[in-house]
Amino acid sequence: MERLRELGATFNGTTSEERVNYFITVPKDSLEQSMQFMYDAITSPLFLEEELVNERPVVTGEYDRNEANPYYHLFRAVDKKVWWKYYSFKMYWVKGMLY
């Protein structure tokens, strides 16, 4: 996060059961350094314990919001019926392969 701030980046992200999206906007003069940063972050993440600890409340908050939403329970029930035992690993369901 510190490096992104040094590069003048603004950032956000979204998550769902099976993916995470990161949105990063950088100034034009930081583009090359920012692309190198993203390459390094994706190919060799550090997984620092302190960062994982900081993310736990974020993830717990997402679960809490889902549990409070009746549509979440509906969609989860439908997923369980459609995808049965693989409802949270839908990618594996197609011919048992990851696509």
The three-state (H, E, C) secondary structure of 50-86, written as one string:
HHHHHHHHHHHHHHHHHHCCHHHHHHHHHHHHHHHHH
Cβ 93 vs Cβ 79: under 8 Å: no
Cα(50)–Cα(4) distance, integer angstroms? 18
Residue 93 pLDDT > 70? no
Residue 50 pLDDT > 60? yes
The answer, as to whether pTM is greater than 0.75, is: no
pLDDT band of residue 90 (cuts 50, 70, 90) is low
